[in-house]
Amino acid sequence: MEKYINPILLILIPFLNGFGIILKKAVKDMNKSFIESTAHIPFYIWFIAVVFSTLIGFFYSPNKGSLLIFDAIVMYGIIQGSVVAFISMGIYDTVRLKR
């Protein structure tokens, strides 16, 4: 069976979920926040997931040289970071619908 997510990146899912909840409450509480509406929160979550996944990729990638850069940015950062972000948003939506 193939691994779609590196097990190290699974720690980002609860972090991103909490980050999204904090951002959603910040939009409601603050008169003028840096977030205009809650519609932009998924983009912020995706961006944070890609950045943290890329940083983790630079530390945990077994490759060296230019393959390290490709592996960290594309494979860890963009692909696995996007999967982690979408899982986090899916968990949030599932929990929200159950309430």
Local confidence pLDDT in tens for the 99 residues of the chain: 357 788 888 899 999 999 988 888 877 766 555 666 777 888 999 999 999 999 999 998 888 988 999 989 999 999 999 999 999 999 988 988 887
- Its pTM stands at 0.84
Indicate whether 59 belongs to any domain. yes
Q: Determine, yes or no, domain membership for 5.
A: no
What is the token pair recorded at 83? Answer: 């999967």
Number of domains forming the structure of the chain = 1
Domain that holds residue 42: 10-98
User: What span, in angstroms and rounded, lies between the C-alpha atoms of 6 and 79?
Assistant: 11
Q: Is residue 58 part of a domain?
A: yes
Residue with tokens 């069976």: 1
Q: Is residue 24 classed exposed, middle or buried when 0-12, 13-18 and 19+ CB atoms within 10 A define those classes?
A: middle
The number of beta carbons lying within 10 Å of the beta carbon of residue 40 is 13
CA distance 37 to 45: 14
Q: Which residues contact 10 (CB under 8 A, 6 or more apart)?
A: 84
